[in-house]
Structure 1
Amino acid sequence: MSGPVRGRRAPGGVTALLGIPYAAPPFGPHRFRAPQPAAGWSEPRDCRDFGPIAPQSAELPGAPVWRPEDEDVLTVNVWVPSEPGGGPLPVLFWIHGGAYTFGSSAQPDFDGSALARAGMVVVSCNYRVGFEGFGHVPGFPENRGLLDQVAALRWVRENIAAFGGDPERVTVAGHSAGAGSVVCLMAMERARGLFRRAIAHSVPAAFFTVGVAAATAARIAAEAGVAPTGEGLLSASPRRLVDASDRVGGVIGDDPVTAIQAYDPVVFQPVVDGEVLPMDPLSALEAGSSGDVDLLVCHALEEYWFLHEVGAVREITSEAELTDCARDLGLPADLLDGYRALMPGAPVLDRYLALLGDAQFGEYGARLAEHHARAGGRAAAVAGEEGRPSSGGRAYLSRFARRRATPDGWTRPWHTADIPFAFGNLDADGAAFLIGGAPDEQDRALSRRMLRAWADFAASGDPGWPPITPDATPVKLWAVPADHLADDATSDVRELWRGVPLGLQRH
């Protein structure tokens, strides 16, 4: 570690050490470069508050905002049980989401206290987002945000034993863009050996080619009034690029670079550059890139209703528009007939949101888990033939299906609603909007079950239900008043997607 740290006591017998630098500030001579080592210190460093966040315009409930003078943005936070018991504890390393554009580890629903009380050392990190982390800059590495995450994981490898954690039992976990980061790390040689298990909630099928990343950067550079060159982009301040990116991403359907941007104006994604990210994660997992890693995948049943609620997706209300959408995204027309049959009487908007949610999250996540399980099965078979033990490669699938009646109707199981449950933070700032009001006792019981599954998976690789096999895809459905186990082989939605290619944002 770079020096001694001093934290604070959190409620329930947990010590929190916040804002510990794991790399140097990525500005000045380090801007747009791979993360560099943090400078050391000799006196105890006050680590009782979260560090500053990466450049962005978002203002999220209970979380800090970015200020142009903030530069020391590459920090980790650690929550440790005050009485950890015997032996080193499993480690859960959390990567926040936010469309690769915003967010931070300081969001209230990411507080690690409850997970630490369940018997883990919990670590979260800030990393570069937006143009600083994922914008294409000629002459500089792609995927700088992913490189930051690798640097933070190396910090964990080198330092977590001092906090009572086991560097051989690290589980990397994330939601949305954080989950996309998780599966990218599984595909990256630079991250090999830095974690033993992975949890991915709501993994987006969202990756750019270098060409798409360059075209997107050129639009942002033009909006910022600079040349799309390394020199030109370095001359633009972080604030200028944040504002330009917001203007480009704030327009739906205005000369999009990719087909999906006409409906969901994503601006930044990991770039399949053949170097930092050698191939897209679905292909990488199918090829067995992380055969020794256990994987737990989850998605919410109605992901895109949240994105529609917050105005992040184009609204479609006519059959003609829905037909155009399927054509633009390269989806077969019979998919629309299938959704019409599965959702009789549903408005066009609901069928559209269901289609996008399954394309971008549900079907993609299920295929990731299945590909990983099959690759692990092949590795186990080879190991058996060679008379050696095989470890890892297991994959588990779950879905967040919790609904609750409210005066305005039903609370949907939508994007992000599952995270306060898994973290045990149902009373955090902003959680009421995500979960549809104040939690009741059934919600608290569900939260305890989900939190326990994460803790057990991090400790042993077994969340409490059967893994995927070559013959079956069991799926755990998180619900109130009780969960249940289903078989994806009987899923009508999965049947619709058989043989349909994914990866819409790479076109």
Structure 2
Amino acid sequence: MTDAPAVAAASTPTDAPVVETASGPVRGLRRDGSAAFLGIPFAQAPVGPLRFAAPVPPEPWTEVRDAVEYGATAQRGDPGVTLIPEPSVPGDATLNVNVFTPAPGRDAALPVLVWIHGGGFTAGSPASPWYDGAAFNRDGVVTVSLSYRLGFDGFGLIDGAVSNRGVRDWLAGLEWVQRNIAAFGGDPSRVTLAGQSAGGGAVLTLLGMPQAQHLFHAVWALSPALTNVSIARAGTLSAKLARLAGVPATRDGFASVDEGRLLALREEAEKPASGDPLDGIRDMLAEGLAWGPMLDGELLERPTLEALAAGVGADKPLVIGTTDDEFTMATDGMKGKLRLVPAGVALSRLGMGGARRARYLAANRAQRAKGTAAVVGRYVTDTVFRAPVVRVARARAAAPTWVYRFVWVSRSIGWACHCLDVPFWWDCLDSPVGIEHLVGTGAPPALADALHAAAVSFVRTGEAGWPTWSQRAGATRVFGAGPSERDVVADGYASAGPLV
């Protein structure tokens, strides 16, 4: 089990800040110019009879409660070396928030940023040292990271249990922010949601939910993995998991299976039928993520793109973008096998038809010159991440939407890969944990300054600083292209156009 990272600058008992929440008082850590309050419960531990239930508000307390260590995470075990360091923390009380503020206990009415972590809806943790809000605090922004149930516990279809428990956790965490953030110096009427990968998909899901509109006022989606699992697919996965566990596909049946065993069986249930890597990619592209927000007809009545096209969330500004090669590092290992396979043949194996395939290859000549593995990586990147950016921007029509790309290439990985923009966005390139593995050495501070400044501007004002898509269709800010870091191109996602 990976230990939670230490939070910079511990306080002494005499200057430890205390804030009164709706549930009771909490004591945090004083830092240089800010304070951190960690592991504050926004709901009771989802164990026992609450395991597959909707989140239940925490029991109130009267004594001052220490909030000086990260709370338990839904992610279990040692995740190993990951692109973003997101450690697991043991314990049952996994529904908690971390608050970083420059104005604890003051009526400061500062803008608020709420972060939802990624991890494919099956992994990840809010306890990353990268999500420490020190840089945003420095710039006058109160920062919150929240946890939610993952995988089957969070998103599986269970007879006799409420659906979309992970989504309900997001809503409960945001309700906690509305009730409590003023006590930490934040303004509940100025809340910006942000998230990356599955977290980016989460904030887009919330943007398209009528029930969530009162909980936030703007959204920034980094590399969003927008997922709408059908009832049919969710039912098939649950039935398969129940067969593997030897229990009925009911709440009582699944509750009888130990958490660790159910996690191992869930991973078994997700394995593709074929061992061929191209077949595995094709199946993933066709079916999408196994777990995630489900179209249950109750909490989520229609796909997010349909909701956005119908005008849900149109009053809220959105920034959305991706890195250029989210997935290509994963196909680097296929270079040998694909060396003699023409790019067109590989794309055909992945299900792309002739005329469309020709248009796509023509639009991606530069990538084609890098080899078939690079073309496959870019195709997956475009299918899962980049083409949906265009679809979202078009669906929102005249709603204020800013689009960007992150093109700087990692010095250690060799691509503008998945997660690479995160430490720049958080302005944490000086973090002692994980930066060299993902970024390499010699990362340009000016790029972090530019991307973080855009984020701060958006959180503060609702303006990102370049033309919106509705003003100039296709307008895309390109981060990492050159010294000015202010390049805006006319059609930044043209190479993904044949897939839209």
- Mapping of 1:76-95 within 5 angstroms? 76-82=97-103, 87-95=108-116
Q: What is the CA deviation profile of residues 392-422 of structure 1, one whole-angstrom value per residue up to 9, with x for unaligned ones?
A: x311011111126x5x7x7321110000001
CA offset at residue 347 of structure 1? Answer: 1.3
The structure 2 residue matched to 1:370, chosen from 385, 394, 403, is 394
Asked if 1 retains the 8 angstrom alpha-carbon contact of 2:103 and 2:184, the reply is no
1:413 correspondence with 2:434: no
1:351 correspondence with 2:375: yes
Q: What is the CA deviation profile of residues 142-186 of structure 1, one whole-angstrom value per residue up to 9, with x for unaligned ones?
A: 221111010000000011000110000000100000000001111
The structure 2 residue matched to 1:37, chosen from 52, 57, 60, is 57
Aligned to 1:228: 249
CA offset at residue 214 of structure 1? Answer: 1.1
Structure 2: which 5+ residue stretches go unaligned?
1-21
**CA distance in structure 2 between the partners assigned to 1:9 and 1:364 by the alignment:** 42
CA offset at residue 206 of structure 1? Answer: 2.9
The structure 1 residue matched to 2:429, chosen from 423, 426, 431, is 426
Q: Which amino acid is the alignment partner of residue 65 of structure 2?
A: R
Asked if 2 retains the 8 angstrom alpha-carbon contact of 1:92 and 1:171, the reply is yes
- Mapping of 1:144-159 within 5 angstroms? 144-159=165-180
Aligned to 1:323: 348
Higher mean C-alpha deviation, range 460-469 or range 244-253: 244-253
Paired residue secondary structure (1:411): coil
1:64 correspondence with 2:70: no
Q: Which amino acid is the alignment partner of residue 80 of structure 1?
A: T
Q: Which amino acid is the alignment partner of residue 486 of structure 1?
A: V
Paired residue secondary structure (2:125): coil
Aligned to 1:380: none
Paired residue secondary structure (2:249): coil
How many matched pairs?
469
Q: Which amino acid is the alignment partner of residue 182 of structure 1?
A: V
- Mapping of 1:387-398 within 5 angstroms? 393-398=399-404
Q: Which amino acid is the alignment partner of residue 274 of structure 2?
A: G
Q: Which amino acid is the alignment partner of residue 325 of structure 1?
A: L
Aligned to 1:388: none
**CA distance in structure 1 between the partners assigned to 2:391 and 2:421 by the alignment:** 20
CA offset at residue 252 of structure 1? Answer: 6.5
Q: What is the CA deviation profile of residues 237-265 of structure 1, one whole-angstrom value per residue up to 9, with x for unaligned ones?
A: 22111111122335463699995337998
Q: Which amino acid is the alignment partner of residue 51 of structure 2?
A: R
**CA distance in structure 2 between the partners assigned to 1:414 and 1:35 by the alignment:** 35
1:302 correspondence with 2:304: no
Q: Which amino acid is the alignment partner of residue 318 of structure 2?
A: L
The structure 1 residue matched to 2:205, chosen from 160, 184, 187, is 184
1:283 correspondence with 2:306: yes
Q: Measured at CA, do residues 63 and 346 of structure 1 come closer, stay the same or move farther in structure 2, by a change above 3 Å?
A: closer
Paired residue secondary structure (1:64): coil
The structure 1 residue matched to 2:409, chosen from 387, 403, 407, is 403
Asked if 2 retains the 8 angstrom alpha-carbon contact of 1:55 and 1:238, the reply is no
CA offset at residue 490 of structure 1? Answer: 7.1
TM-score, normalisation: structure 1: 0.85
Paired residue secondary structure (1:140): coil
1:260 correspondence with 2:266: no
Aligned to 1:211: 232
CA offset at residue 66 of structure 1? Answer: 5.0
Aligned to 1:160: 181
Asked if 1 retains the 8 angstrom alpha-carbon contact of 2:219 and 2:317, the reply is yes
Q: Measured at CA, do residues 355 and 81 of structure 1 come closer, stay the same or move farther in structure 2, by a change above 3 Å?
A: same
Aligned to 1:21: 41
CA offset at residue 308 of structure 1? Answer: 4.1
**CA distance in structure 2 between the partners assigned to 1:471 and 1:262 by the alignment:** 30
**CA distance in structure 2 between the partners assigned to 1:297 and 1:284 by the alignment:** 17
Aligned to 1:448: 449
Asked if 2 retains the 8 angstrom alpha-carbon contact of 1:297 and 1:366, the reply is no
Q: What is the CA deviation profile of residues 430-480 of structure 1, one whole-angstrom value per residue up to 9, with x for unaligned ones?
A: 122221x1344xx21211221111111011111211212265231111114
**CA distance in structure 2 between the partners assigned to 1:88 and 1:272 by the alignment:** 36
Q: Measured at CA, do residues 261 and 176 of structure 1 come closer, stay the same or move farther in structure 2, by a change above 3 Å?
A: same
CA offset at residue 223 of structure 1? Answer: 2.5
The structure 2 residue matched to 1:131, chosen from 128, 143, 152, is 152
Q: Measured at CA, do residues 424 and 232 of structure 1 come closer, stay the same or move farther in structure 2, by a change above 3 Å?
A: same
Asked if 1 retains the 8 angstrom alpha-carbon contact of 2:330 and 2:377, the reply is no
Asked if 2 retains the 8 angstrom alpha-carbon contact of 1:208 and 1:272, the reply is yes
Higher mean C-alpha deviation, range 124-133 or range 106-115: 106-115
Q: Which amino acid is the alignment partner of residue 319 of structure 2?
A: L
CA offset at residue 274 of structure 1? Answer: 1.9
Asked if 2 retains the 8 angstrom alpha-carbon contact of 1:21 and 1:38, the reply is yes
Paired residue secondary structure (2:381): helix
Structure 1: which 5+ residue stretches go unaligned?
378-392, 501-507
Paired residue secondary structure (1:367): helix
- Sequence identity of aligned pairs in percent? 32
